[in-house]
């Protein structure tokens, strides 16, 4: 009886884990999280801001807003 319960729990948790992994690798999150970030550029005004080529305008607005946001928090 105890062996059967542990087998059922193993199957349930294994199935949940498999479903989660399939969902993750099919979602756009996996592309973003697993993509290499070696091509990112460091912003000249704030070194903690990294951006991809072509996103300079957005990075500039973040660089202006980020210090105030950090100060407020």
Mean pLDDT of 54-69: 91
> 56 and 29, same structural domain?
no
Alpha carbons 65 and 39: distance in angstroms, whole number: 24
Of 70, 28, 31, nearest to 49 by C-alpha is 70
CB 54 within 8 A of CB 71: no
> 21 and 7, same structural domain?
yes
CA-CA distances (angstroms) from residue 49 to 5, 23, 28, 62, 70?
A: 51, 30, 22, 8, 13
pLDDT computed for residue 34 by the predictor: 84
Q: How many domains does the chain have?
A: 2
> 69 and 42, same structural domain?
yes
- Name the percent of the chain lying above pLDDT 70: 99
Domain of residue 15: give its range.
1-35
Write the pLDDT tens digit of every residue in 32-56: 788 888 889 999 988 899 999 999 9
pLDDT computed for residue 18 by the predictor: 96
> 24 and 6, same structural domain?
yes
């Amino acid at each position: 009886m105890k062996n059967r319960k542990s087998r059922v729990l193993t199957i349930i948790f294994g199935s949940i884990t498999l479903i989660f992994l399939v969902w993750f690798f099919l979602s756009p999150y996996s592309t973003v999280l697993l993509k290499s970030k070696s091509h990112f550029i460091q912003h000249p005004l704030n070194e903690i801001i990294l951006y991809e080529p072509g996103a300079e305008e957005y990075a500039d607005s973040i660089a202006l807003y980020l210090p105030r946001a950090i100060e407020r928090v």
